[in-house]
Amino acid sequence: MKVLIVLTSHDTLGNTGRKTGFWLEELAAPYYRFKDSGAEIVLASPAGGQPPLDPKSNEPDFQTADTHRFEADVAATAQLADTVALNSIDVSEFDAVFYPGGHGPLWDLAEDRTSITLIETALQKQIPVALVCHAPGVLRHASNRDGSPLVAGRTVTGFTNSEEEGVGLTEVVPFLVEDELIRLGAAYSKGPDWDSYVVSDGILITGQNPNSSAAAATALIELVDGQTLA
């Protein structure tokens, strides 16, 4: 199994003067679910190189066994420091694609034509795609072959309006993930705030928040394994 993990290159939290980027747990938890299952992992980002880490995600309250393991893992941190440029990726070489969240993707990956095309191509080629927390927002411009929104009629989840309100960024983000998915015609589903909640619709898997990242990765592994056995 070969998995592509796509990370943000955006590091500015709107006009707040604060930094953002990817959320550490949303990379670390899936990374080790994939690694421990024997998968080959490739990390990519729009700019390549070291993607920005949301500094809040590395505060003690948000650290987990997976984040500690990642930060102590010399090979993993070296790989993170040297992500592949997204425009050099051929998605057909992969068995699955995973998008961690953090607020960064709302600014760059949601608007990045390379990322949008990669997602569209993956799903057309029956390559499963999983996105967690804010990352389902990167589906906003993705389309089906007929030009309709990719998420229209699909059951998906993502960071809730109330979770965004809880972190005080409702007026800072360029759009609210829940509102945007609903606007595009998705069958938006959610669980209690901050609980692990994952939805699978065919080969599209979405997780609601950081606590959903491990379960979303496990669902992706099981889906790929099922395809292999079929």
What are the angstrom distances between the C-alpha of 109 and each of 64, 102, 112, 185, 195?
26, 11, 5, 20, 25
Residue at 94: amino acid letter: F
Look at residue 227 in the predicted model and tell me its pLDDT: 78
Look at residue 161 in the predicted model and tell me its pLDDT: 98
In tens, the pLDDT along 34-84 reads 999 999 999 999 999 999 999 999 999 999 999 999 999 999 999 999 999
Instruction: Give the mean pLDDT of the chain.
Output: 97
Delineate the domains of the chain, giving CATH numbers in brackets: 2-229 (3.40.50.880)
- Kind and range of the H or E run holding 120: helix 113-124
In tens, the pLDDT along 127-177 reads 999 999 999 999 999 999 999 999 999 999 999 999 999 999 999 999 999
Task: Map residue 155 onto helix, strand or coil.
Answer: strand
